[in-house]
Amino acid sequence: QVQLQESGPGLVKPSETLSLTCTVSGYSISSGYYWGWIRQPPGKGLEWIGSIYHSGSTYYNPSLKSRVTISVDTSKNQFSLKLSSVTAADTAVYYCARTTMVRGVIYFFGYWGQGTLVTVSS
């Protein structure tokens, strides 16, 4: 059974960098699939942030691309998100998810972590 678990600080100051890690169990990241991040502001809808392959190939949401870095550590079966220069608008529940992707097209997100709330506030 594939399981994903997000971890990281729940409070980040404005202008600083948000950093989260997703630990995958029950499946080796190196075996395939892309691995991604999606966020959901409180009471609002879902926004895809970006996805990464075990080789390091990445795809980012154009609206966030200038501030986002996603990396992978196959030895730990983890992948990570960094979002720089955060503001209150970045306050959200951040989910990691296994991404089905074919020939440059992101299909769907089949397995999700439980999510972690990150609040941007001084």
Partner 1 sequence: EIVLTQSPGTLSLSPGERATLSCRASQSVSSSYLAWYQQKPGQAPRLLIYGASSRATGIPDRFSGSGSGTDFTLTISRLEPEDFAVYYCQQYGSSPTFGQGTKVEIK
Residues of this chain that bind partner 1 (CB under 8 A): 45-48, 59, 61-62, 95, 97, 100, 104-110, 112-115
Least gap, CB of 26 to partner 1 (angstroms): 14
Alpha-carbon span 83 to 49, nearest angstrom? 10
**What's the min distance (Å) between Cβ of 15 and partner 1?**
26
What is the rounded CA–CA span in Å between residue 81 and residue 55?
16
Nearer to partner 1, 18 or 111 (CB): 111
At closest approach, how far in Å is the CB of 48 from partner 1? 5
Q: What does each C-alpha distance from 28 to 24, 35, 64 come to in angstroms?
A: 8, 11, 28
